[in-house]
């Protein structure tokens, strides 16, 4: 799959600077949206009595009147799905996932557009019932918590993808619509000819993320009321009959729940797997209540990292292992901010809003469209849905900026595993380092000293500066070259005169195919150039460990070696370099990664 360049606008620059090398794209837009349509005048005091009066129905006849409408709604729904030859099921198990059932039925039938199934079940609701008022000695229609049958109309919508419309079959006949912005986006990309790989409700790869983001932005400019009215007409055809009997009565659409997600697509699941535990640890350890308030735009978060005394609410953080990944959620008075890994390679930051009144929108007073605009409470109505997307996007952005400051690294176990593991070389086993042991700790502490990065490790040994290693003074030592073909060593004196071995051929190698160049009493080298055919192997840590053991095995009597000018090592690809000590048979191994930033000679 070819990666296409995409616009990074919308992601914090600090996050891109830290982790952008592994990011292939991102998307920001609505995920799950739940809308509710209600007959608002009926919820006002005396509203139901006024409606019955408009219908010329006595209060004592309310029960029979409501049952008649309920039966008409049920018959219309059943007839619609029977005509489409789609299944109708009554569910008695509340734990059964209706979404999964509808998805499975759609896949089995290969439905690309149209009705999927009709599911009926009894669920809690707010509904009107006839009750007697003993004090007033009158009958009243009272709104109370109750239960009634709800009809779930599942559709594979040509524009919006899979969705459902839930119809309450008793007064006040409220309607709920649940759709998914990612399913909607999939239909948009199909029409635009953009290739993608989708798993569940997220995309693990998109051919052109920039164009996909433009399509997501188009959703925000939708005529939400007109779009939802078309779904109302599809699933609840009796709505005109119910609303026409009272002047000014119509279904009012509001967003009861919105999920706005920022998906960051990583090139490999392993890259996200390495970063995600760090994000979780950083968020749990570092993000406190004032941080959560600031993420969600609450004004009670003070700059000093404290919560304003006037704040009244609850802030919680919850970590949960889910089938699709580990989820971390920060909650503030019903609204929440979540982070979780989707499908292994997608990092999702999601803001869920249940109580929009905690945010502000710049608008005129409701009912006075030409009035003065002020910062007022964000409404549940679809008219403020665009502003809801803005505050959600800002919350996600602030959270990503905070994640970009993560200072953690991979666990110590992962870093130390390689150097602590024993290795075998040419039939001989060499033990690994133990950073917790006193001797190995002292060795590693000494190697990390700054002068070795400048002067080189071998130069320090030549000067006799190894007492921190083994408590001995060093002297004569050797440079060994291993090559399948011939190798050349050119040692030049700083003054320009050559001394020592100018050339080492294959015939000069010993039984182990090593050429020995002695450096003793006097070092006249200015530069050492080595050419060969093999790569540098194994680990610097083991080389130092072998050197420590080699010098500690015997009580050597060495002469100190003076080094006037330390040499540089020019080591191209394709050479094996070994450091050894005379009178021992141990081989010291150097890894190529250990040579970066370290002068050996």
Residue 452, pLDDT score: 54
**571 torsion bin: left (phi>0), alpha (psi -120 to 50), beta (else):** beta
Beta pairing partners, 26? 264
Number of domain units in the chain: 3
Report which of residues 524 and 239 the model is more confident about.
239
CA-to-CA dists, residue 232 to 116, 164, 238, 551, angstroms: 17, 11, 10, 87
Which of 394, 410, 426 finishes a domain? 410
Rg (CA), the chain: 37
pLDDT for 208 beyond 50: yes
Residue 311, pLDDT score: 84
Neighbour count for residue 449 (Cβ, 10 Å): 12
Token output for 79: 């007839």
Region 331-359 average pLDDT: 94
* 375 and 433 assigned to the same domain: no
Residue 345, pLDDT score: 92
pLDDT for 512 beyond 90: no
Query: What does the DSSP assignment read for 170-200?
Result: STT--EEEEEEHHHHHHHHHHHHT--EEEET
Is residue 327, in this structure, part of any structural domain at all?
yes
**10 torsion bin: left (phi>0), alpha (psi -120 to 50), beta (else):** left
Residue 551, pLDDT score: 39
* 309 and 355 assigned to the same domain: yes
* 420 and 360 assigned to the same domain: no
Residue 460, pLDDT score: 47
Residue 298, pLDDT score: 87
Residue 308, pLDDT score: 79
Is residue 14, in this structure, part of any structural domain at all?
no
Residues 6+ apart with CB under 8 A from 136: none
Is residue 15, in this structure, part of any structural domain at all?
no
**CA angle in degrees (0–180, nearest 5) for 157-162-168:** 90
Cα gap 580→561, rounded to integer Å: 16
Cα gap 473→2, rounded to integer Å: 59
Residue 8, pLDDT score: 43
Cα gap 339→229, rounded to integer Å: 33
* CA of residue 24 relative to chain centroid, distance: 13
Instruction: State the pLDDT confidence band at 453, using cuts at 50, 70 and 90.
Output: low
Residue 368, pLDDT score: 87
Q: What percent of the chain has pLDDT over 90?
A: 54
Give the model confidence (pLDDT) of 240-298 as tens digits: 999 999 999 999 999 999 999 999 999 999 999 999 999 999 999 889 888 999 999 88
Residue 415, pLDDT score: 63
Is residue 575, in this structure, part of any structural domain at all?
yes
Tell me the pLDDT of the chain averaged across its residues: 76
Lowest model confidence (mean pLDDT) among 188-202, 357-371, 443-457, 538-552? 538-552
Which of 410, 433, 455 finishes a domain? 410
pLDDT for 175 beyond 90: yes
* 363 and 498 assigned to the same domain: no
Q: What length is written for the chain?
A: 601
Cα gap 163→184, rounded to integer Å: 10
| Helix, coil or strand: residue 133 | strand
Instruction: State the pLDDT confidence band at 472, using cuts at 50, 70 and 90.
Output: very low
Residues 6+ apart with CB under 8 A from 571: 530, 536, 577, 595
* 234 and 370 assigned to the same domain: no
Region 324-332 average pLDDT: 89
* 559 and 461 assigned to the same domain: yes
pLDDT for 186 beyond 60: yes
* 232 and 325 assigned to the same domain: no
Residue 408, pLDDT score: 57
H or E element that contains 77? helix 62-83
Domain that includes residue 124, residue range: 30-250
Residue 440, pLDDT score: 75
* 264 and 345 assigned to the same domain: yes
Query: What does the DSSP assignment read for 334-391?
Result: TEEEEEEEETTTEEEEEEEES-GGGSEEEEPPTT-TTS--EEEEPPSBGGGHHHHHHH
Region 429-434 average pLDDT: 78
Residue with tokens 């993808």: 161
Residue 300, pLDDT score: 75
Is residue 534, in this structure, part of any structural domain at all?
yes
Which of 410, 436, 460 finishes a domain? 410
402: nearest Cα among 269, 293, 258, 270 = 293
* 364 and 450 assigned to the same domain: no
63: nearest Cα among 174, 153, 139, 177 = 139
Token output for 95: 């734990």
Q: How do strand 522-523 and strand 562-563 relate by DSSP bridges?
A: parallel
* 405 and 420 assigned to the same domain: no
- Residue 487 is classified by DSSP as B
Is residue 17, in this structure, part of any structural domain at all?
no
Give the model confidence (pLDDT) of 107-165 as tens digits: 999 999 999 999 999 999 999 999 998 888 899 999 999 999 999 999 999 999 999 99
Residue 531, pLDDT score: 30
Neighbour count for residue 24 (Cβ, 10 Å): 18
Q: What percent of the chain has pLDDT over 70?
A: 70
pLDDT for 355 beyond 80: yes
Q: What is the dihedral sign for C-alpha 450, 452, 454, 455?
A: positive
Give the model confidence (pLDDT) of 68-107 as tens digits: 999 999 999 999 999 999 999 999 987 889 999 999 999 9
Q: Are 146 and 126 in contact (CB under 8 A)?
A: yes
Residues 6+ apart with CB under 8 A from 247: 54
Residue 563, Cβ density class (10 Å: 0-12 exposed, 13-18 middle, ≥19 buried): buried
| Helix, coil or strand: residue 560 | coil
Instruction: State the pLDDT confidence band at 2, using cuts at 50, 70 and 90.
Output: very low
* 227 and 281 assigned to the same domain: no
Residues 318/323/325/326 CA torsion (nearest 10 deg): 20
pLDDT for 559 beyond 80: no
Cα gap 423→433, rounded to integer Å: 11
Most confident of 288-292, 426-430, 485-489: 288-292
Residue 402, pLDDT score: 94
Is residue 210, in this structure, part of any structural domain at all?
yes
* 64 and 110 assigned to the same domain: yes
Is residue 19, in this structure, part of any structural domain at all?
no
């Amino acid at each position: 799959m070819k990666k296409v360049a995409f616009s990074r606008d919308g992601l914090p620059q600090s996050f891109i600077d830290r982790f952008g090398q592994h990011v292939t794209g991102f998307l920001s837009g609505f995920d799950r949206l739940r809308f509710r349509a209600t007959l608002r005048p009926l919820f006002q005091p005396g509203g139901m009595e006024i409606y019955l009066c408009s219908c010329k129905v006595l209060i004592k006849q309310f029960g029979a009147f409501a049952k008649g409408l309920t039966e008409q709604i049920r018959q219309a729904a059943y007839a619609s799905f029977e005509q489409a030859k789609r299944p109708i099921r009554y569910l008695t198990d509340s734990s059964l996932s209706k979404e999964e059932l509808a998805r499975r039925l759609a896949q089995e039938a290969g439905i690309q557009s149209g009705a999927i199934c009709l599911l009926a079940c009894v669920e809690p609701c707010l509904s009107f019932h006839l009750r007697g008022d003993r004090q007033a000695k009158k009958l009243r229609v009272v709104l109370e918590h109750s239960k009634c049958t709800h009809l779930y109309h599942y559709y594979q919508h040509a524009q919006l993808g899979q969705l459902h419309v839930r119809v309450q079959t008793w007064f006040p006949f409220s309607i709920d619509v649940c759709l998914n912005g990612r399913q909607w986006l999939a239909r948009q990309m199909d029409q635009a000819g953009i290739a993608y790989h989708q798993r569940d409700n997220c995309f693990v790869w998109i051919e052109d993320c920039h164009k996909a983001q433009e399509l997501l932005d188009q959703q925000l400019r939708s005529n939400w009321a007109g779009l939802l009215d078309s779904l109302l007409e599809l699933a609840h055809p009796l709505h005109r009959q119910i609303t026409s009997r009272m002047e000014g009565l119509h279904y009012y659409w509001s967003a009861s729940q919105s999920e706005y997600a920022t998906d960051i697509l990583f090139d490999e699941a392993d890259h996200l797997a390495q970063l995600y535990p760090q994000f979780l640890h950083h968020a749990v350890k570092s993000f406190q209540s004032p941080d959560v308030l600031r993420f969600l735009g609450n004004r009670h978060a003070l700059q000093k990292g404290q919560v304003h005394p006037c704040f009244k609410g609850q802030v919680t953080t919850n970590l949960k292992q889910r089938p699709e990944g580990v989820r971390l959620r920060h909650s503030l008075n019903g609204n929440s901010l979540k982070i979780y890994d989707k499908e292994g390679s997608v990092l999702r930051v999601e803001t869920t809003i249940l109580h929009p009144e905690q945010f502000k929108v710049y608008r005129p007073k409701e009912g006075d469209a030409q009035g003065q605009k002020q910062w007022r409470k964000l409404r549940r109505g679809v008219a403020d849905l665009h502003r809801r997307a803005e505050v959600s996007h800002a919350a996600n952005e602030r959270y990503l900026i905070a994640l970009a400051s993560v200072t953690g690294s991979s666990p110590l176990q992962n870093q130390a595993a390689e150097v602590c593991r024993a290795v075998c070389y040419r039939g001989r086993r060499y033990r690994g380092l133990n950073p917790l042991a006193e001797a190995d700790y002292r060795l590693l502490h000494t190697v990390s000293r700054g002068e070795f990065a400048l002067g080189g490790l071998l130069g320090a040994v030549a000067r006799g500066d190894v007492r921190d290693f083994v408590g001995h003074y060093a002297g004569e030592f050797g440079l060994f070259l291993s090559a399948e073909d011939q190798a050349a060593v050119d040692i030049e004196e700083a003054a320009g005169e050559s001394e020592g071995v100018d050339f080492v051929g294959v015939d000069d190698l010993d039984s182990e195919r090593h050429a020995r160049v002695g450096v003793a009493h006097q070092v006249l080298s200015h530069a050492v150039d080595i050419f060969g055919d093999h790569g540098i192997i194994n680990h610097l840590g083991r080389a130092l460990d072998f050197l420590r053991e080699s010098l500690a095995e015997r009580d050597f009597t060495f002469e100190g070696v003076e080094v006037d000018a330390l040499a540089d090592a020019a080591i191209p690809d394709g050479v094996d370099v070994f450091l050894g000590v005379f009178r021992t048979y141990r081989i010291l191994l150097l890894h190529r990664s250990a040579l970066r930033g370290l002068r050996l000679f």
